Amino acid sequence: MRREGSAFQGLGVVMLKELSDHLSSVRMRVLEWLVVLVALAALYGAIQQIKDTTAEDPFLFLRLFTTSRDPLPSFVSFISFLVPLMAIGLGFDSVNGEYNRRTLSRILAQPIYRDALLFGKFLAGLVTLAISLVTLWLIVVGLGLLLIGIPPGAEEIGRSFLFLLVTIIYAGVWLALALLFSILFRSAATAALVTLGIWLVITFIWPVLAGAVAQVIAPPDPRYMALGLQTPATVQAEQILARLSPSTLFAEVVVALLDPTTRSLGPIYLSQLQGAVLGAPLPLSESMLIAWPQTVGMIASAILLFVIGYVIFQRQEVRA
């Protein structure tokens, strides 16, 4: 038997309420200032570097995002570092906060399903992140125009816009993770610490660990080692393991999109390079093709994390 009515009844109401909560919260304001200041610093460094060193570059505009000048990392590295923090900051107390304020059972006694509450919270978080990221993107594009003085081409705008979209998807992955832990743990502090811990492990420890684990799974071939080369099987295993982390996926997509000369995200044999004009940029559609599997991987992990949380939330007791 089907249950009556739509699962999305009240979705818009929940979303708007959560969105206004997010946008007016002190937490969000702090995060936004952090991101804007850090991004401006990175941008300033990049522009200085570009002015000093780059003479001619067909994709000068994209260099804004990827160029770094010591001691500051590039804009892209800042973003890949800060976006998860923002997403976790928005999501870690979304469901357990309702428990702790004792509002959950009162809200669920209204004619809506739990689906609407959870979807609404996720969408509100995502829209909040999207608003911040779009603003940031516009700031970067605008400042780039002003400070470099060269208008970007259509392809550069296209590439940087796709980078924006992928960043929002990346934020969605972390938001879904934060939401999942806010469902699992009644204490917001526990949820925040666990999510941040997982973020640290996935982003900083896992890439290193993946190399070590790959050596165990596919031990390097002494013949390759004698030649000073990496064993293909080991490299592949390492890549597969590293790609379990959304941070790796995001980094790969960013490289493919913002550096048009990227031809492959994995190891390639010399034979595959035959006839290739090294350093020649790929058209946007080809770059998208390279980045597509990683993008789908990120979307899938966001959906997977959300669904796990959704199933648990549906079964959870509402009493505090």
Partner 1 sequence: MNADTVIEAKGLTKTYGRATAVDHVSFSVGRGEIFGLLGPNGAGKTTTILMLLGLTDISAGEVSVLGFDPVRQPLSVKRRVGYMPDTVGFYDGLTAADNLRYTARLIGFNKPEREKRIADALAQVGLSEFAEKRVDTFSRGMRQRLGLAEILMKGAQIAILDEPTSGLDPHATTELLAIIRAFKSEGVSVLLSSHLLERVQSVCDRVALFSNGRIALMGSVADLGREVLGGGYVVDIEADGAGFADRLALIPGVSGVEKIGVGRLRLHADRDVRPEAAAEVVAMQGRLKYLGVQEPSLDAIYNRYFETRPDEELTMKEGARHAA
Span near partner 1 by CB under 8 A; candidates 96-104, 160-168, 186-194, 266-274: 96-104
Give the helix, strand, coil percentages of the chain, each rounded to 5. Answer: 75, 0, 25
Site string (290-319) toward partner 1, x via CB under 8 A: ---------------------------xxx
Q: Name which of 48 and 100 has its Cβ closer to partner 1.
A: 100
Alpha-carbon distances, residue 240 vs 184, 198, 213, 243, 298 (angstroms): 29, 19, 11, 5, 14
> Residue 27 interacts with partner 1 (CB under 8 A)?
no
> In angstroms, what is the minimal distance from the CB of 23 to partner 1?
13
> Residue 288 interacts with partner 1 (CB under 8 A)?
no
Rounded to an integer, what distance in angstroms lies between the CA atom of residue 181 and that of residue 194?
A: 8
SS3 labels along 216-233: HHCCCCHHHHHCCCCCHH
Residue 42 burial (10 A CB sphere; 0-12, 13-18, 19+): buried
Binding to partner 1, residues 111-130 (CB under 8 A): 111-113
**Quick one: which of 8, 17, 73, 220 contacts partner 1 (CB under 8 A)?**
17
> In angstroms, what is the minimal distance from the CB of 198 to partner 1?
29
**Quick one: which of 108, 127, 130, 198 contacts partner 1 (CB under 8 A)?**
108
* CB neighbourhood size of 70 (10 A): 7
Q: Name which of 66 and 100 has its Cβ closer to partner 1.
A: 100
Span near partner 1 by CB under 8 A; candidates 14-22, 28-36, 123-131, 198-206: 14-22
* Structure tokens, 78: 């800042």
Alpha-carbon distances, residue 301 vs 90, 174, 275, 297 (angstroms): 19, 10, 37, 6
**Quick one: which of 29, 102, 150, 219 contacts partner 1 (CB under 8 A)?**
102
Rounded to an integer, what distance in angstroms lies between the CA atom of residue 264 and that of residue 253?
A: 11
The residues binding partner 1 (CB under 8 A) are 1, 3-5, 9-10, 13-14, 17, 21, 101-103, 105-113, 317-319
